[in-house]
Chain A
Amino acid sequence: MFNPKIVAFCCEQSGVPASEMRLGEVADLDLKSVPNLPNLEIRPVPCAGRIETVHLLTALEQGADGVLVFACHEENCQYRRGNIRAKSRLLYAGTMLERIGMEKARLEICNLATNDGVKFSKVLTEKVEQLRKLGPNKFSKISSEVGKE
């Protein structure tokens, strides 16, 4: 079965603690399809607002099939509007993907709280299923071929 590679940018205020909880929570959820996502890469960021559009695009370019941003709930950002900035950058990156003919569903932002390990797992499972339907990221291959030349 196709195991999509997911890059998850996690805010250190919420996403990182939630991702650490995930391992404890998986047992309670029926997550047989993703027992331990071997292709999950967690990238901690001090705030979701640190993520630039180019980070999202390079992640896809370098072979990720999907990119997730785990940020704090809106209006709960410790740095006031970092999560909203991240959201708008993600939307902008999405329009760029559409322009080159790529599904913008590969990019997603998820707002969660520090103790939301369950939501973290759920979102990941849904993402894996969605990416299985979408299939592998064709554009990353192109870029790797370009890189070889």
Chain B
Amino acid sequence: MTQSNSDVRGVIKTILLKQDVLILGGGFSGISLAEALARGGVDVTIIERGSAKQLDEITSRLKKSENITITILTQSELVDLQGHFGSFRAKVRKNDGETVELTPAIIVAATGYQTLRQPQGIPETAADILYLPDMKKLIDAAAGEKLFLNGKPLSAVTFFLDAVNDDIKFDSINVLEQAIVLGSRFNCRVSVLCRDLKVSFDGGERLYRQAREEGVLFFKYNEPPDFHLENGKLSVSLPDATFPNNEDQKEITLTSDVIVLPETCLPGTKTDQLAGILRIPLGKGGYFMDDNPQFLRIRSARRGIYVTGACRFPQDLTETQREAEATAQEIISILLPGTYDCSPVFAEVDTKKCALCYTCPRLCPHSAITIEKYAKQNIYRILNSEDDSMQYAAWVEPVACYGCGLCVAECPAQAISLRGESAHFN
């Protein structure tokens, strides 16, 4: 492959790596990742906003199982982050106001997501609305042949999907699983209203077929269906979209004892604030991931910062588990050599030309540029000034630079050059 870095001279910078990882969030993915990392011989620190109670059970299990060192700081949060891959300086504030400074080599965000219960476009008759987790509890607790809700037996159940969440697979998993049980064990008439049913998970097609065989009815809608009260029961009307032509689509009215809705998934609280501290961009919907095929699944835009679990995108637990393992592998493979060789192609700032316009720190997609006070070998002085105090200028951190050259092209003072770039650009 042709490379633009045909002319590479000089010594490549090598940094030492400590086997030290900081995980933000002590949820399922954070704990799984910490366990996998600790088994690989990496020192792990977890910081969690919540209380210790939530973590106690899991950590006691971990401590018993093996000789694992995981430090857990509860009721604390990340307030400031400086430095780059290999030498982050993270300020963690505890609930009592005490501040700790940590120096991890790698930071992983595993902050998870939150759920809200908000029925959309459905009249407020709380008795007729259930959410998927409640329905699961109801099914698990039920004994006998009939399912009772508030003392009344359930004979017709309608699941209403895709109104609040878009493209979230575990809604489909839960709906299919519950629909099969309701149909087969409790003899309910089950209908599922959805825009598109997502079956792209393990065994999804099989579950769907099983649900069809159990007599579950699937209705596809394009426009939001109309919910109204009929004889005190919540019913829904929608055109039958199985016919392609609008004229053929007859209106269907479904009256059911209960409407089951998924919970609305949202990014965790303060996700945007955390993204600001970590200096990584947020993707669509405010999650930690851009919808961009060029990005790898767990890597963020910054080297040394990873995102894993449901803070990337709400997902199934098995998927989260696998993702945590993948992240652990990635981190161990990068930390194992103990050193990291920077890419020979990186941007360099001519401190004499830098006018401190702050264009490059703003545009750098990898947050590799900061404004620094230059050290002795790189003194930048105002011309003809007697004052020999050091001046500020932009600084591209070679460890964090990916060599894309965006800053080189954008710098108004042409103070940045790409080290090792071929001659036709000079």
How many angstroms from the CA of A42 to the CA of B295 in the assembled complex?
26
Q: In the complex the two chains form, what is the Cα distance from A85 to B281 in whole Å?
A: 18
**Which chain B positions have C-beta within 8 A of A46?**
4, 345, 403-405, 418
Q: Is the CB of A76 within 8 A of B292?
A: yes
A136 touches B (CB below 8 Å): no
- Determine if B306 is an interface residue (Cβ-Cβ < 8 Å): no
Residues of A within 8 A of B3 (CB): 12, 44
Cα–Cα, bound, A2→B295 (Å): 43
Nearest residue in A to B410 (C-beta to C-beta)?
A85
**Is there contact, CB below 8 Å, between B406 and A82?**
yes
CB distance from B48 to the nearest CB of A (A): 30
Determine which of B4, B293, B294, B301 lies in contact with A45 in the assembled complex, contact meaning CB atoms within 8 Å.
B4
- Pairwise interchain contact B408-A50, C-beta atoms closer than 8 A: yes
Q: Could you tell me the distance in whole angstroms from the C-beta of B372 to the nearest C-beta in chain A?
A: 22
Contact A77 B2 (CB under 8 A): no
Other-chain contact of A79, B2, B293, B365 (Cβ < 8 Å): B365
Task: Please give me the residue from chain A that is nearest to B281 by CB atom.
Answer: A80
B406 and A47 within 8 A (CB): yes
Q: How far is the CB of A73 from chain B (nearest CB, A)?
A: 9
Query: Interface of chain B, helix or strand or loop or mixed?
Result: loop
Query: With A20-B1, A44-B3, A45-B4 as given contacts, are A50 and B405 in contact (CB-CB < 8 Å)?
Result: yes
Q: Does A52 contact B (CB under 8 A)?
A: yes
The count of chain B contact residues (Cβ–Cβ below 8 Å) is: 27
A55–B422 Cα gap in the complex (Å)? 13
Q: Are A78 and B410 in contact (CB under 8 A)?
A: no
List of B residues within 8 angstroms of A17 by Cβ: 1
Residues 81-105 of chain A: 1 if any B CB is under 8 Å from the residue's CB, otherwise 0?
Answer: 1100100010000000000000000
Q: Does B100 contact A (CB under 8 A)?
A: no
Whether a CB of chain A sits under 8 angstroms from the CB of B243 is no
A64: interface (CB < 8 Å): no
Q: Which residues of B contact A81 (CB under 8 A)?
A: 365
Q: Is the CB of A50 within 8 A of B294?
A: no
> Which of B1, B281, B292, B424 is close to A75, meaning CB atoms less than 8 Å apart?
B292
Q: Which chain A residues border B281 with CB–CB below 8 Å?
A: 80
- A137 neighbours in B (Cβ, 8 Å): none
Cβ of B252 under 8 Å from chain A: no
Determine the chain A residues whose CB is within 8 A of the CB of B113 once the complex forms. none
Q: B96: CB under 8 A from chain A?
A: no
How does the 8 Å CB contact mask read for B356-373 relative to A, with 1 for contact and 0 for none?
000000000110000000
Among A43, A44, A50, point to the contact of B409 (Cβ < 8 A): A50
A61 to chain B, nearest CB (A): 13
* Contact of B365 with A55 in the complex, beta carbons under 8 Å: no
Q: Closest residue to A55 on the B side, CB-wise?
A: B425
- Bitwise interface map of B from 382 to 426 toward A, beta carbon under 8 Å scored 1, else 0: 000000000000000000001111101110000000100010110
> Are A47 and B404 interface neighbours, CB within 8 A?
yes
Question: Contact partner of B418 among A13, A50, A82, A89, CB < 8 A?
Answer: A50
Q: Which residue of B lies closest to A62 (CB)?
A: B424
Contact A78 B291 (CB under 8 A): no
Separation of A72 and B292 alpha carbons in the complex (Å): 11
Q: Give CA–CA (A43, B418) in the complex, Å.
A: 15
Determine whether the beta carbon of A49 is less than 8 Å from that of B4.
Answer: no
Q: Report how far A42 CA is from B424 CA in the complex, Å.
A: 11
Q: Measured between alpha carbons, how far is A78 from B301 in the docked complex, in Å?
A: 9
In the complex, whether A68 has a CB less than 8 A from a CB of chain B is no
**Are B404 and A50 in touch, CB under 8 angstroms?**
yes
Which residues does chain A contribute within 8 Å of B425, judged by CB atoms?
A: 50, 55
Complex partner residue of A16 from B1, B294, B403, B424, CB under 8 angstroms: B1
Contact with A along B283-307 (1 / 0, CB 8 A): 0000000111111000001000000
Determine whether A6 belongs to the interface, using a CB cutoff of 8 Å to chain B. no
Apart from A46-B4, A52-B409, 18 more pairs, CB < 8 Å: A12-B3, A12-B4, A16-B2, A20-B1, A44-B4, A44-B422, A47-B406, A49-B406, A50-B405, A72-B294, A75-B292, A77-B294, A78-B295, A78-B404, A79-B402, A82-B365, A82-B406, A85-B406
Instruction: Sort A-B residue pairs by CB-CB distance and give the 3 closest, nearest first.
Output: A50-B405, A78-B294, A47-B404
Chain A to chain B contacts (Cβ below 8 Å), 27 pairs: A12-B3, A16-B1, A20-B1, A42-B2, A44-B2, A44-B3, A44-B4, A44-B422, A45-B4, A46-B4, A46-B404, A47-B405, A47-B406, A49-B406, A49-B409, A50-B408, A50-B409, A75-B291, A76-B294, A77-B292, A78-B292, A78-B404, A79-B402, A79-B404, A81-B365, A85-B406, A85-B410
Interface residues of A (CB under 8 A from B): 12-13, 16-17, 20, 42-47, 49-52, 55, 72, 75-82, 85, 89
Residues on B lying within 8 angstroms of A by beta carbon are 1-4, 281, 290-295, 301, 345, 365-366, 402-406, 408-410, 418, 422, 424-425
